[in-house]
Structure 1
Amino acid sequence: MKKFLMLTVAVLLTTTVFAQIEKPVKWSYAAKKINSKEAVVLIKATVQKGWHIYSQFGKDDGPIPTTFTFTPSKDYTLAGKASEPKGITKYEAVFKTNVTYFENTVIFQQKIKLNKAAAMVKGSIEYMVCNEFKCIKDDTEFSIPVN
């Protein structure tokens, strides 16, 4: 009975270790003041080898696009939409359409107009990351000081 109990515990521990949630994207943030009234918020995605994250500007029949939602604040206003560099555009059979994505790293930029000398830019990111076997939909929150 003791051996059976030990075997059961070992199997459960092994299952728990392998059932951990995959996080193939790591996010980092920074802000750079352009002048006393303007700044750029930099949102960097570092993507594990073999995975890719999708553009903000996807088609309705494609993957979930990367989406930035900024929490409204009296301290700043958004100046336009977030920008991104040129990505890789390729046909993906799973979506039956051309899609634009990024591998390794990508830096998204959001210009803001400052209403005060300092601000805290808060919000969330919704995104999809895929490899050749599966896709993961995920989201994360951010808080970026602008001094």
Structure 2
Amino acid sequence: MKKILLMIAAVLIGSQAFSQIEKPVKWSFAIKKESNTEATVFLKADIQNSWHIYSLDQKEGGPIKTSFTFLPGADYALIGKTSQPQPHTKFESAFNMKVSYFERSVIFQQKIRLKSGTGVLHGKLEFMTCNDKKCLPPENLDFSIKL
């Protein structure tokens, strides 16, 4: 009986090792108050070596662009659009087009108007991660940041 249990445990542990989900991007979120009425939200992606994510302004017909959706809140209002640093651009044969992307690390920024001194900003992001061999399915991530 013990041998059977050990064999089952070994199979389960082995199958878990082979079914690890790749997560080459880790996100972190922060806010910096510029004044009593304005703040900047920082959305940072730390990207493993050899992987990349796509820019906010990726053209149609290519990979899924990185996008942020900020849910409406009584405590804040968006000022303008989300900004990004200058992305790299290259031709990717998988998409048969030039793509704009980020490697290693990137910080996106969103200015907000504060309507009160407290509250929570809720949002969602979507992004796609690729390397020179494959692309992972697009990911959706919910986030919240205390104001």
- Identify if the C-alpha distance between structure 1 residues 3 and 53 changes in structure 2 by more than 3 Å, giving closer, same or farther: same
Find the aligned partners of 1:130 and 1:84 in 2 and give their Cα distance: 19
How many residues end up aligned between the 2 structures? 146
Find the aligned partners of 2:133 and 2:15 in 1 and give their Cα distance: 21
Matches within 5 A, 1:1-147: 6-7=6-7, 9-136=9-136, 137-146=138-147
Identity of aligned residues (%): 50
1:80-114 CA-partner distances (Å, limit 9, x unpaired): 11000001000000000000000000000000011
Query: How much does 1:139 deviate?
Result: 1.5
**Which amino acid letter does the alignment assign opposite residue 40 of structure 1?**
T
**Which amino acid letter does the alignment assign opposite residue 141 of structure 2?**
T
Query: How much does 1:6 deviate?
Result: 4.9
**Which amino acid letter does the alignment assign opposite residue 142 of structure 1?**
F
Q: Secondary structure at the match of 1:122?
A: strand
Instruction: Give the structure-2-normalised TM-score.
Output: 0.92
Gaps of 5+ in 2: none
Gaps of 5+ in 1: none
Instruction: Give the structure-1-normalised TM-score.
Output: 0.92
**Which amino acid letter does the alignment assign opposite residue 126 of structure 2?**
E
Aligned-pair RMSD on alpha carbons? 1.7
Find the aligned partners of 2:58 and 2:75 in 1 and give their Cα distance: 31
Poorly superposed stretches of 4+, deviation over 6 Å:
1-5
**Which amino acid letter does the alignment assign opposite residue 63 of structure 2?**
P
Query: How much does 1:37 deviate?
Result: 0.7
